[in-house]
Structure 1
Amino acid sequence: MKKRTKRAFSIHHWSGLIAGIFILAISLSGVILVFDDKIDEVIYESHAQLGAPAQALRIDKSIGWVRAENQGWDIRVPALPASSDKALLYELRQGQLRRWLFVHPETGKKLSTVEQAHNRFSYVVLNLHYNLLSGTPGKVAVLLVGLALLLLTVTGFLLYRKSVLKVLTFRQRVSLKSRRSLLSSLHRVVGVWALAFNLLMCVTGLSLAITVVNAALKGGTKEVSVPEITASVDAAMAEAGTTYPDFEITYLRFPVNAEGQVQLLGRLRSDPSYYGRFYSKIPLDYETGELGQPFFLSEQPLLDRFLTALHPIHFGDFAGLPVKLLYAFFGLMPALLSISGSLLWFCRRQGKPVKTTRAAKVIR
């Protein structure tokens, strides 16, 4: 074995052993998060379903009492109702705490409350994926695991580069001769097929992890005091639709202090789907109702567009079900590689002959 290959094998070996269990957790949680919106939709269907279709969406009917009854909470509307028979959802945030309010979109009447929305399944899985359920230390650990996965991907390519063409043309098969050959060939085949996807997840995931760690290290949560919204949000949304007909509002974020603004977040319908659903925005003065200068992602420098697109690309939420299923399939590959790599190491350990010590030789 050449010196360079030995070095690559050593890095691959130890990176896999140290980070394997964490890669397994992040891989499986990532697969679940591909479908997080659908999971929430199914679990909370009874909260979101209206008895009769609403005739209009009127944010002004509810934002006043939502603010008054939830002082100290960051107020958002993470998605506008998908159809006229769905409730309007307010998500309230206070640090890691989450509270959901389901409201009638037309009358503004409270329908139901999920007090501990931070305990819902998809959010727990999200925290596992982002911080291993360990706060800031976990966020740093996830960043390091991402670097380890990048090392594993690069060294794996160096080790199996001669097998890439054979695997992709189905000339390299999984061997069933022995348990060790089964694990070795399976690890090789899965690794080659997952190479491009793993590299994509590494680049996009590291971008996210750096952002998350940077935000966590900057300090504690700022005090939230949402000011009274005296302007008509409904009128502003209608004006935005008239002034910028290509702009689709998908998300509302209300100011957390008197210096802030209401943010009408969304996307241009002409944008490519990988720009995401809410990375363009139009600010709104909460007192006068005047719309500010819009920020459209498609008009930003290439580097800014690239870095922003990494986020929706990482989670696969920029396209429909076929792409999500593809993400889920390839998302299982790091988990499978982690398991097969660990079992392969165990088999090699078992297969090694026990060395006779020098003292034992002397006694004989």
Structure 2
Amino acid sequence: MRKRIWQLHSWLGLCAGLGLVIIGLTGSVLVFHRDIARFTKPEIVLRPSPLDAPRLPLSGLIAAVEQAHPDYWVRGWLLYHGEERRDVAYVTPHADSAAWYLLHVDPATGDISGPPVALHDTLYGWFIDLHYTFFADHIGLAITAVLAVGFIFLSLTGLYLHRAFFKTVFRLRWRQSWRLFSSDLHKAVGIASLPFNLLLGFTGAYWNIAHLAEELSHEHEEAEVWTAYEGRLDRLDELPALAETTWPGYAFNYVYLPTAEDRQFYVFGQTPENHPFRSRYGSALWFDAASLEINYRQDVRTAGWWARIVDAFEPLHFGDFGGLVSKILWCLAGLAPGLLTLSGALIWFQRRRRRPPPARPAPPRPAPLTAAASGR
């Protein structure tokens, strides 16, 4: 049984190694994507206005964006409260509502940092596409989901195979031979990163599988065209107060604007709860665009246990809940698949080289002569 598990562990690691390395390395970069954007493009992502400057009405900001870029219309708006980052406006061209672009807007002045940029042309979008889909859309989602499940299997089988290694988990025999050093490194990295591997593998697999299941369960038109709802800005500025009335202290973080085909405001934000594992978008309100009646609400504080767990996936997967310390730990965890793949490949090739040649069969011996055959 142990030998069969070791064979499965080895072959799966060799087959999935490259994909897991790419997922791990891109994940390490994505942990610091906001910090990288601040450092590389501060004039685009950082607001020049003071943090305590009052925000302009959201309807006015959207109208300013559409006036500056008349060939686009705003589909969604991401708000940052009390941060040095600009707001993000998500826009699509009138001629192609399936293509999404983004703009960075100062919420206090309405200053727009530049022309619309396609999501996949940003550093963050490029890494996200590679991390989740390998640039292969839904096929890539399926592949990364399979790899994530395989990563969980590799972690659990590695724990079973090397469970005795806990006694000497920090031993690295680097002065003896490459084979022993590779083996010790593989076991040490695998055991040290095991909680991260299981956590990141499970959350990543869940997101991709859930997304694919939703796509398969709903019929989608081949050429879906969305048009703007004409009255979408008329009562937009009433939403923050209505959300505050519904849930005092509610952080209004994102709004998806109504279309002519779907006349609802979709508001996502965070209820005032001192909990490190809560996403910025876990509590949602859906408003009728004309009457502003609430058609749906989900308060993560009173939601079911599974809804609360799924909401915690975002901070747990990206590691941004504990400041710089958690980011560094999650970044290092993203390097683990690369070290495991490299050390595991070295172990496999070294074992193949040291395997003794198969024994040659002994030459057939002549049958002994019987008394009758020998003439005795």
What is the root-mean-square deviation in Å for CA atoms of aligned residues? Answer: 2.9
Would the alpha carbon gap of residues 118 and 57 (structure 1) be closer, same or farther in structure 2, given more than 3 Å must change?
same
Q: TM-score, normalised by structure 2?
A: 0.83
Q: After TM superposition, give the deviation of residue 328 of structure 1 in Å.
A: 1.0
Q: After TM superposition, give the deviation of residue 259 of structure 1 in Å.
A: 2.8
Q: 5-14 or 196-205: which moved more?
A: 196-205
Q: TM-score, normalised by structure 1?
A: 0.86
In the alignment, structure 2 segments of 5+ residues that lack a partner are 365-376
- Contact preservation (8 Å) 1:174, 1:189: no
SS, match of residue 210 in structure 2 = helix
- Name the residue aligned to 1:112: 114
- Contact preservation (8 Å) 1:276, 1:317: no
Would the alpha carbon gap of residues 328 and 350 (structure 1) be closer, same or farther in structure 2, given more than 3 Å must change?
same
- Name the residue aligned to 1:141: 143
Per-residue deviation, residues 26-55 of structure 1 (Å, max 9, x unmatched): 111111111222223333321244554443
Task: Choose the corresponding residue for 1:241, options 216, 222, 244.
Answer: 244
Per-residue deviation, residues 240-266 of structure 1 (Å, max 9, x unmatched): 335532211122221244433122211
Distance 2:277 2:187 in 1: 31
Would the alpha carbon gap of residues 97 and 118 (structure 1) be closer, same or farther in structure 2, given more than 3 Å must change?
farther
- Name the residue aligned to 1:27: 24
SS, match of residue 75 in structure 1 = strand
Would the alpha carbon gap of residues 88 and 149 (structure 1) be closer, same or farther in structure 2, given more than 3 Å must change?
closer
Would the alpha carbon gap of residues 166 and 49 (structure 1) be closer, same or farther in structure 2, given more than 3 Å must change?
closer
- Name the residue aligned to 1:122: 124
- Name the residue aligned to 2:263: 260
- Name the residue aligned to 1:186: 185
- Name the residue aligned to 1:206: 205
SS, match of residue 138 in structure 1 = helix
- Name the residue aligned to 2:335: 332
Q: 173-182 or 63-72: which moved more?
A: 63-72
Distance 1:206 1:42 in 2: 31
Letter in 1 for 2:267: L
Identity across matched positions, percent: 27
- Name the residue aligned to 1:278: 281
Q: After TM superposition, give the deviation of residue 147 of structure 1 in Å.
A: 1.7
Task: Choose the corresponding residue for 2:105, options 103, 106, 113.
Answer: 103
Task: Choose the corresponding residue for 1:44, options 41, 46, 64.
Answer: 41
Letter in 1 for 2:195: A
Distance 2:300 2:103 in 1: 30
- Name the residue aligned to 1:91: 90
Per-residue deviation, residues 315-344 of structure 1 (Å, max 9, x unmatched): 223332211111111221122101111122
SS, match of residue 125 in structure 1 = helix
Q: 21-30 or 69-78: which moved more?
A: 69-78
Letter in 2 for 1:340: S
- Name the residue aligned to 2:2: 5
- Contact preservation (8 Å) 1:15, 1:151: no
Distance 1:86 1:330 in 2: 27
Q: After TM superposition, give the deviation of residue 311 of structure 1 in Å.
A: 3.3
Across the two proteins, how many residue pairs are aligned to each other?
354
- Contact preservation (8 Å) 1:97, 1:118: no
Per-residue deviation, residues 90-115 of structure 1 (Å, max 9, x unmatched): 02357874322233424545442243
